[in-house]
Amino acid sequence: MDIEKIRKDFPILSRKIKGNDLIYFDNAATSQTPIQVINKISEYYSKYNSNIHRGVHFLSQEATSEYELVREKIKNHFNIAKKKEVIFTSGTTHGINLIASGYSNILQKGDEIIVSNLEHHSNIVPLQMLAEKTSSILKVIPMNLSGDLDLKAYKKLLNNKTKLVFVNHVSNSLGTINPIKEIIKEAHIHDAKVLIDGAQSAPHFKTDLIDLNADFYVTSAHKLCGPTGIGFLYGKEVLLNELPPYQGGGEMISEVTFEKTSYADLPHKFEAGTPNISGVIAFGAALDYLNGIGLKEIENYENELLKYATRKLKEVKGLRIFGEAKNKISVISFNIESIHPYDLGSILDKMGIAVRTGQHCAQPVMDFYQIPGTVRVSFSFYNTKKEIDFLILAINKAIKMLS
Amino acid sequence: MNSISKIQKELVEEFSFFEDWMQRYEHMIDLGKSLPLIKEKYKTDDNIIKGCQSKVWMHAELEETKLIFTADSDAIITKGIIAILIRVFSKQHPDEILNADTKFIDQIGLKEHLSPTRANGLVSMIKQIKMYALAYKTQIN
């Protein structure tokens, strides 16, 4: 991997922030966009901007085939059995809500839903809403100090009333890689369906959905070097067919009269209205870009960054890392003794370093550690050890200022 | 006695001496260290100002016709921001507080150099100070 060459693909990385070179360590919130993806958005609007699936004209056909080609690319990239099992959404949150909402017609009073203590709020709140609507019960897989889920406790939570299990592949606040293959296998023994939130995992390593045997899977393009406002939902065909449409509108119907409307087949049943066409097409370009580098190469390099930064950060006096699971991605959440994460984040910002501070939309994780929040640095394949060295310098300077 | 507008002018001048925002932050942190601290017994959830990413407690009490503010925060830069506000608004008559404008905040450049969440917190703090002034004004009358 030629990092210097890769960095040149990202125009934003040459920005100066308050006189300093931008150091972007907030990749878990959103990844940066390579010129190839930016150009693809521009190409769409300059060459074949038109509505898809219904036009007879040339532009519409061109846009439709580009759009559908991306469905194929996603199918191949994530190893999905059928193209129609790929539903375009506005992102991870949309996908979770679509499934949670669909099950509000299926769950019965007293049924059980399992989530984990490590979830992002977007994988908690829709299920609380579902539980409230259906009088079902929400149960939580506990975590331990290292930031791993307690699988023994999980197995005890499962029973024949368990209908759904919603778990993230990777924790956004700590970086823990959850053993989802085992989680899925255990759930299936009880005939429960599993949704995997792949927002934090898809950018960092290869996901094989046939091998994992997930029932549903959701992720967002903007974490994968793609644009915001686009993502996809994968669901097994038989399960998606059981669910009612999420939104009504054009595109999702086969016939409409005032007496009755029949719905279109998958995937269109869940894609009402004009979709984010440029977003989908640019998402395809982002997958091409990542595959051009190679996800295995990305994974190896990011692991190297993780190891290096963990070692360097641990040398900082009073620094405590939260979440030291054996299997984790390049995310490090930490605090420094008697310094508020928000103060540290503010000083780092003044030195051009973008980090995330606070609860990371995962308040239950912060409550578990009884802390108001953390500073989170998250690395991507375009980050460098040199940037990590500067981070350490900046942290030491901030400590001097703040103590 | 210093009027609100005089103190505001002093603050604007004080901050104009610094060349960059790093130094201004350092100054704010120093100011935070001299913040008149709220008594432990007032550090209750009722006295937390909502809308700040860090915790901020504020208390006000009347000394004759002047309002005295005390406060605290778990974040040190936030403490500096409250210290600036308290320097301006503490030991003032509620009427003066209610009539005061807050242009000095823009003149210092505080808002634009704070993160959006902190700027929101700053607005919440000023709102709270004015609320106290309004509440105590009726007491004086």
Chain B nearest CA to A305, separation (Å): 28
C-alpha A152 chain-centroid distance:
26
Range of the domain at B31: 4-140
Q: ipTM of this predicted complex?
A: 0.84
Chain A nearest CA to B110, separation (Å): 13
Pairing of strands A162-168, A112-116: parallel
**Gyration radius of chain A's alpha carbons:** 22
Residue A96's pLDDT band, with cuts at 50, 70 and 90, is very high
User: Cα–Cα–Cα angle for B59, B14, A398, nearest 5°?
Assistant: 75
Chain A within 8 Å of B23 (Cβ-Cβ)? no
Look at residues A183, A125, A165, A158 and name the one whose alpha carbon lies nearest to residue A364.
A125
Chain A within 8 Å of B55 (Cβ-Cβ)? yes
Assess whether pLDDT exceeds 90 at residue A369: yes
What pLDDT, on the 0 to 100 scale, is given for residue B52?
63
Mean pLDDT value of segment B31-49:
91
Residue B29's pLDDT band, with cuts at 50, 70 and 90, is very high
Residue B135's pLDDT band, with cuts at 50, 70 and 90, is very high
Mean pLDDT value of segment A127-136:
97
What element of type H or E holds A319? strand A319-322
Mutate to test the interface with A, among B54, B79, B111, B114 (most CBs of A within 10 A): B54
Q: Which of A346, A351, A358 sits opposite B77 (nearest CB)?
A: A346
For residue A297, the tally of other CB atoms under 10 A from its CB is 12
Chain A within 8 Å of B112 (Cβ-Cβ)? no
Chain A within 8 Å of B111 (Cβ-Cβ)? no
**What CATH number is associated with residue B62?**
3.90.1010.10
Q: Which two tokens stand for residue A39?
A: 């150009």
Q: Which pLDDT tens digit goes with each residue over B41-97?
A: 999 988 888 766 788 999 999 999 999 999 999 999 899 999 999 999 999 999 999
Chain A within 8 Å of B1 (Cβ-Cβ)? no
Residue of B nearest to A360 (CA): B53
Q: Which of A340, A347, A402 sits opposite B54 (nearest CB)?
A: A340
Assess whether pLDDT exceeds 60 at residue B1: no
Q: Which pLDDT tens digit goes with each residue over A149-206?
A: 999 999 999 999 999 999 999 999 999 999 999 999 999 999 999 999 999 999 999 9
pLDDT over 90 for what percent of chain A?
Answer: 91
Q: Give the Cα separation of B121 and B56 in Å (integer).
A: 9
| Greatest CA separation for chain A | 73
Q: Which pLDDT tens digit goes with each residue over A59-94?
A: 999 999 999 999 999 999 999 999 999 999 999 999
10 Å CB burial of residue B63 (0-12, 13-18, 19+) is exposed
Under an 8 A CB cutoff, do B26 and A401 touch? yes
Q: Which pLDDT tens digit goes with each residue over A285-328?
A: 999 999 999 999 999 999 999 999 999 999 999 999 999 999 99
Q: Give the Cα separation of A214 and A201 in Å (integer).
A: 14
Count of domains in chain B?
A: 1
Residue B57 · residue B94 · CB < 8 Å: no
Mark A129-154 as b/e (b = at least 16 C-beta within 10 Å): ebbeebebebbbbebeeebbbeeeeb
For residue B115, the tally of other CB atoms under 10 A from its CB is 15
What pLDDT, on the 0 to 100 scale, is given for residue B87?
95
Chain A within 8 Å of B120 (Cβ-Cβ)? no
Q: Rounded mean pLDDT of chain A?
A: 96
Look at residues A23, A21, A15, A30 and name the one whose alpha carbon lies nearest to residue A226.
A30
Residue of A nearest to B25 (CA): A347
Q: Of B11, B52, B81, B114, which one is the catalytic site residue? A: B52
Q: Give the Cα separation of A329 and A36 in Å (integer).
A: 25
Mutate to test the interface with A, among B19, B25, B57, B114 (most CBs of A within 10 A): B25
Under an 8 A CB cutoff, do A372 and B55 touch? yes
Q: Which residues of A touch B (CB under 8 A)?
A: 18, 339-340, 342-343, 345-347, 349-351, 357-358, 372-373, 401-402
Q: Which of A343, A358, A373 sits opposite B76 (nearest CB)?
A: A343
Assess whether pLDDT exceeds 90 at residue B111: no
DSSP state, A45?
A: I
Q: Which residues of A touch B25 (CB under 8 A)?
A: 346-347, 350, 401
Q: Which pLDDT tens digit goes with each residue over A4-29?
A: 999 999 999 999 988 899 999 999 99
Residue of B nearest to A351 (CA): B22
Q: Which of B21, B25, B54 sits opposite A342 (nearest CB)?
A: B54
Q: Give the Cα separation of A401 and B25 in Å (integer).
A: 9
What pLDDT, on the 0 to 100 scale, is given for residue B2?
74
What pLDDT, on the 0 to 100 scale, is given for residue B51?
63
Chain A within 8 Å of B18 (Cβ-Cβ)? no
Residue A214's pLDDT band, with cuts at 50, 70 and 90, is very high
Residue A209 · residue A178 · CB < 8 Å: no
**Gyration radius of chain B's alpha carbons:** 14
Under an 8 A CB cutoff, do A342 and B22 touch? no
Output the CATH code of domain A3-30+294-402.
3.90.1150.10
Q: Give the Cα separation of A376 and A361 in Å (integer).
A: 12
C-alpha A318 chain-centroid distance:
31
Under an 8 A CB cutoff, do A347 and B25 touch? yes
Mutate to test the interface with A, among B20, B27, B29, B53 (most CBs of A within 10 A): B53
Q: Which pLDDT tens digit goes with each residue over A235-287?
A: 999 999 999 999 888 888 888 888 888 888 999 999 999 999 999 999 999 99
> Pick the residue with more confidence: A17 or A111?
A111
Would you call B52 a catalytic residue per the annotation? yes
pLDDT over 90 for what percent of chain B?
Answer: 57
C-alpha B69 chain-centroid distance:
9
Residue B82 · residue B35 · CB < 8 Å: yes
Determine the topology of domain A38-291 in CATH.
Answer: Aspartate Aminotransferase; domain 2 (3.40.640)
Q: Which residues of A touch B112 (CB under 8 A)?
A: none
With DSSP H G I counted as helix, E B as strand and the rest as coil, what are the percentages for chain B, rounded to 5? 60, 15, 25
What pLDDT, on the 0 to 100 scale, is given for residue B122?
85
Query: In DSSP terms, which residues pair with A165 in a beta bridge?
Result: A114, A194
Residue B19's pLDDT band, with cuts at 50, 70 and 90, is confident
